[in-house]
Amino acid sequence: MELSNELLQFTVDLCKQEGAKDVVVKAVQNDEHQIRFSNSQIDILKQWFCNTMDILATRGKHVKFLSIQTPSKPKIKAIIPKALKNLASEPKSILYWGIEKKHHTYPQYPELVDHEIGNFIDRAPDYVNAAIQSSIEVGSQKVAGVLYWGKKSTGVLTSNGNGGIYSSSYYRMTVRSFFDAESSGQDIIAGRSLQNIESKFIEAGQNSAEIAKMAVNGVQGNAGYYDVILSPTVAGNIFGELVFGANPLMILFGISSVGEKVGKQIGPENLTVSDDPTHPEGIGSYPFDIEGIPAKPTPIIENGKLVNLLHNTSTAKIWSLLGFIRKGKIGTKSTGNSNLGYIMTEGIGPRTLFPKPSNFVYNPGDSSLQEMIENSQKPTIYLTSNWYTRYTNYIEGTFSTIPRDGSFLIENGEIKQSIRKIRLSDNLLRISANVSAIGKNVPQIQWWEVRIPTFIPAIKVENCHITTATD
Amino acid sequence: MKVSRMNDGFDLVEYGVDFAEQHGASYVEARFINRYDENYTLRNGSVIGILETESLGVGIRVISDGGVAFGSTDQLTKQNLENTVLRVIKLAKLAQRKDPIVFSAEKFEETKWNTPVKQEFQEISKEDKLRFFKTVEKRQKREAGRALKNRLLYLDMLKDHKYYMNNEGAKIESTNSVISLFGYFTAKVRNRTEQRQLGLGAAKGWEWITEQNIEDHIIRESLALVNTTANAKSYEFQNPVDVVVSGEVAGIMCHENVGHPSEADRILGREGAQAGESFYRNLWEGDFQPGKIRIGSDCVTVVDDPTYSENAGYYLYDDEGVKARPRKLIKDGMLNDLLMNREFAARFNCNSSAASRAYAYDREPLTRMANTYMAPGDFEQEELFQDIQEGLYMKSFTEWNIDDRRFQSKYVGLECYLIKNGELTSQQIRRPILELTTFGIFQNVDAVGKGYFAPYGSCGKGDPMQAVSVSMGGAHFRIRNVRVGRGL
């Protein structure tokens, strides 16, 4: 069935008829493709059509979450009365404190679709092969990667009449080139617009191969304290972990290191980060959140100070109450980040109403990557990619992560040696406090290790702890 | 055994396989899954969310012109299935591979298998399930006290009714039930915090809660966390020292350092851009031959066994219809077996080891582990400590990671004790660090205990991520002469 305002209204009305007071309905029609490749050939092509509807129905603090596949009026009519029959006796949720009451209108949604996306399947395999070929021409032995693209229609309607239907599209590709088994490099492209897309694929193949080429003849790195230059990919993961913690639920669950840092300086003056659902190229952009609050940028870190957590209406009320109890202050408001779905990881764990980031956007700094390298007079390590970030303690921010692909030792302002088999074992807050330079170029990163779309430059951090495994 | 047609999903699978063959697919498989998932999330005794969902869908994978494609549909009509099949056949042709993909030849059956369940979780009322949490919360508060600040519990109960068919003779109906509990606890004592991730689970019904004393287990771990937070002290070892690890720590080491590098798709590069490759790739030239390459000492045997019904990764036929069997990945220290699906078995010129698993109907099957463990040896636990002058006993762990070739690993201890003069002491050691290679761990093992304990894990691999249920554990073992880093 086509996603329509009528279907959304029918669902909201039926929930109210069955005794719900607040209702949020989100329906999504998704048409996504994927190409996976390795050993310089396409391994598999995939297509997914999904048509789902998530519903939150409440009565006081009694909350029921429903998910309906391939929603249609008869199916919705069959499921909702049964599911909401005992709504008033559902356990009370401590996290539910209401949704947006004010009615909003939306003048003009930003264009989030490149209409070429519908025909992209005809060209995508050739572009993937062009990326592979461009890498091989630099000298790669083999090339692996993944390309996703898709178009989505999202419909939102609340019991207060907020919401609407909008469409969006995206693409993202990770390409990893190997000169030999241990000399590899990776590049990422991500966005909405397919303009000049072929040249972006070719460039990504080349960039990944150039890193792999530099990584050849790598030697075991030495443990110690170094200044470290984090590529946008690595910075997106490590700083993303920090900023992702600016979320009341993460703080309540004990998996945030910034719980006690609101209003405090956690980085240098030139570190400014926002959540921005209005970014035209942002894969996470939307015109309004799940409660129908119009999208707007929210500063999270401003001039190095943690200024905001991301809220929905419920968490804003909880924080206002806690603020009143602790400091006699009230007034926390939703930042328009309400979402309905998985809290932690897509496909795993509880699903409910919670604040979710859209796109993290870092302000550019004033250094090019080359300048960061040239200005490194102390031994410095340049990390181009990483994975497997894990914590000893989330609240402290004590973690380690493993560099992969090219890592390079810089001495006297020049890259001297490809190094490998090292680990960054440090602390998120210490790293944030020790930022010494921020790059000028701000690409969008989204891949395996950076789930929230993130516009982020290279970031240089002083005095990081590098460790190694012994035999 | 003949599989009876039970519902529309089964009919669609059979129709889809025939339809794909008629339209040019040289290979086709279809999986219908009816999934019921019920989960409970509570923080400090209060409900965060309760969710009951049911999903239905068919996933189809084909080979056509040597290319592979996968598609799925949740709209279970003949027309939609035909459209899906025609689309995936078209997609497979677009791959235009130089080397066509072929699958290994296997024997297939028409059969059924079920998880042995005594008490279906759907038959337990919501009130009874919440009563379990209430009791746990009451005991945690009473026995672990105020120091246990944050108590997050997530109980998931998942039941898959699946029908798998391929065009080479496999028709397999299965009902698989997995119950798992994830705990995330934070203790705070004198401004110091420690955190514990606890994973428990099994291919069982609700009876698992009582038969395995899950409530007691949670309480024991809660108390241990509080004690560790209050008493553990940083300790500088005179390295190298001997280390004894518990079944829990043995499990994560066997999973990360042995199980993952044994995945044939990684060895041959298919996960190159995601989960990475394997250091095994460089260990031999030509055909793989069991028993030729030393990974560990003589006393190391690591097994991955999907057929062990007590554990969470239980299955009897994989998602390519191949009959499951235990895989002795390392036997007496020597590399012995690999985790194979049919595509990579063909490349290794052997048979699949039935390691192909898909997380859901809309995911392609990948080469995965099931229940990975250190096979028990002959030593009583106390004997493992007996001749250690000074060493570490690591009972549980916090932070861990490993490089994407699965060789450079790190395990940070949580509940850890000093071993002194051949005896386990009560002195707790704060966050000791084992940053060792795979050879560094397993080639220095000189004794393996008798016991067996295997926690639950949700193993992530693939893109999109597929988190499948596994268990990982085994026996205690002793590692000689390794460096233990000092935790702060």
DSSP A235: H
CA distance B443 to A449: 32
Q: Which residues are CB-neighbours of A182 under 8 A, at least 6 positions away?
A: A215, A218, A420, B405
User: Does the complex come out with an ipTM higher than 0.90?
Assistant: yes
pLDDT of residue B390: 97
Q: How confident is the model at residue A62 (pLDDT cuts 50, 70, 90)?
A: very high
The pTM for the full model equals 0.97
Instruction: Please check the confidence at residue A360 and state whether its pLDDT lies above 50.
Output: yes
Instruction: Please check the confidence at residue A328 and state whether its pLDDT lies above 70.
Output: no
A86-95, A205-214, A401-410: segment of lowest average pLDDT: A86-95
What residues of chain B score a pLDDT lower than 50? 1-6
Hey, which residues 421-450 in chain A have their CB within 8 Å of chain B? 421, 423, 425, 448
Instruction: Please check the confidence at residue A326 and state whether its pLDDT lies above 70.
Output: yes
A154-163, A341-350, B398-407: segment of lowest average pLDDT: A341-350
A366, A440 Cβ separation under 8 angstroms: yes
pLDDT of residue B2: 46
Chains A, B: CB pairs < 8 Å = 229
| DSSP line for B113-132 | EE---SS-GGGS-HHHHHHH
Residues of B in contact with A43 (CB under 8 A): 68, 95, 101, 270
CA distance B172 to B316: 10
Q: How confident is the model at residue A330 (pLDDT cuts 50, 70, 90)?
A: low
CA distance B473 to B302: 10
Residues of B in contact with A402 (CB under 8 A): 401-404, 408
pLDDT of residue B1: 46
A373, A413 Cβ separation under 8 angstroms: yes
What is the number of residues in chain B?
488
pLDDT of residue A350: 73
Which residues are bridge partners to B304 per DSSP?
B327, B372
CA distance A376 to A365: 17
CA B288 centroid distance within chain? 25
Instruction: Please check the confidence at residue A348 and state whether its pLDDT lies above 60.
Output: yes
Instruction: Please check the confidence at residue A114 and state whether its pLDDT lies above 50.
Output: yes
CA B324-B328-B334 angle, 5° bins: 155
The encoded tokens of residue A244 equal 């992702």
A38 touches chain B (CB under 8 A): yes
Residues of B in contact with A90 (CB under 8 A): 50
pLDDT of residue A345: 67
CA distance B362 to B73: 8
CA distance B226 to A316: 32
Centre a 10 Å sphere on the Cβ of residue B123 and count the other Cβ atoms it contains: 9
Q: Do A44 and B47 touch (CB under 8 A)?
A: no
Number of H helices, E strands in chain A: 9, 22
The encoded tokens of residue A397 equal 């921010």
Centre a 10 Å sphere on the Cβ of residue A49 and count the other Cβ atoms it contains: 19
Reported as a single tens digit per residue, the pLDDT across A436-470 is 999 999 999 999 999 999 999 999 999 999 999 97
Q: What average pLDDT does chain A have?
A: 95
The alpha-carbon gap from B49 to the nearest alpha carbon of chain A, in Å, equals 6
Instruction: Please check the confidence at residue A352 and state whether its pLDDT lies above 90.
Output: no
| DSSP line for B396-461 | -EEEEEE-TTS-EEEEEESSEEEEETTEEEEEEBSS-EEEEEHHHHHTTEEEEBS--B--EEEEEE
A146 touches chain B (CB under 8 A): yes
Helix axes A73-83, A5-17, angle to 10 degrees: 20
Reported as a single tens digit per residue, the pLDDT across B356-393 is 999 999 999 999 999 999 999 999 999 999 999 999 99
Instruction: Please check the confidence at residue A1 and state whether its pLDDT lies above 70.
Output: no
CA distance A177 to A198: 18
